[in-house]
Amino acid sequence: KQEVTQIPAALSVPEGENLVLNCSFTDSAIYNLQWFRQDPGKGLTSLLLIQSSQREQTSGRLNASLDKSSGRSTLYIAASQPGDSATYLCAGKKTSYDKVIFGPGTSLSVIP
Amino acid sequence: GAVVSQHPSWVICKSGTSVKIECRSLDFQATTMFWYRQFPKQSLMLMATSNEGSKATYEQGVEKDKFLINHASLTLSTLTVTSAHPEDSSFYICSASSWDSYEQYFGPGTRLTVT
């Protein structure tokens, strides 16, 4: 059974710092992996999607990487801002027909 | 990108009543739709998967008679919570994908409060 862990569970950093969020899958057979942002009481905002054939994706200050051999992904946020404060969820699936499994999330707080 | 909407965005109902939540794909045909539930400070848990025109497949532990899912068209799926109880209060999120897409597109969620 595929399980997803995210480390750390919570993170508080001063504004301007670069930071890394981690996501691990128990089964390294990953079809694709997505990073989402969720603000309190709100729905999900898709940040980056990485296919199994890709190693990383970048969007602005965000960079997500995927290491299939280890079943791990990292989300790198450069020059963090208070507006980045939110919960970040990683989610993936093993095959194109499989269901998406979500990690528990990392709660990020960027202090001005 | 593809857009998925949900209606209502929030709803309050009395215990014992039923409530219906709609999920629509606005600019693409959703061959598959997914319903998730999220309790406070927890992650999303998949409740069921529905393919257009077929019966939904429910995850283990989800009562199919309590959470009725209909996916009668390629742009609309509905989740009906029957005989709602306070413990059904949660954030319900749908997502949709088309046959030719790798990605699931998520709706904004519906917050249900049962009093």
Å between A76 CA and nearest CA of chain B = 21
What's the pLDDT score for residue B53? 82
Q: What is the mean pLDDT of residues B27-44?
A: 90
**Chain B hits for A32, Cβ within 8 Å:** 102-103
The predicted pLDDT at position A10 comes to 96
Which positions in chain B touch A90 (Cβ < 8 Å)?
none
Residue B102 confidence (pLDDT) above 90: no
Q: Which of A61-65, A108-112, B9-13, B100-104 has the lowest mean pLDDT?
A: B100-104
> Among candidates A44, A57, A51, A111, which has minimal Cα distance to A83?
A111
Determine the average pLDDT of the residues in A55-62.
Answer: 96
Chain A, residues 49-108, CB within 8 A of chain B, namely 49, 51, 89, 91, 96, 99-105
* A-chain residue closest to B94, CA distance: A43
Per-residue pLDDT of A3-50, as tens digits, reads 899 999 999 999 999 999 999 998 878 888 999 999 988 888 989 999
Return the pLDDT at B101. 72
Beta carbons of A43 and B109 less than 8 Å apart: yes
Task: Give the pLDDT confidence of A69-95 residue by residue, as tens digits.
Answer: 888 999 999 999 999 999 999 998 888
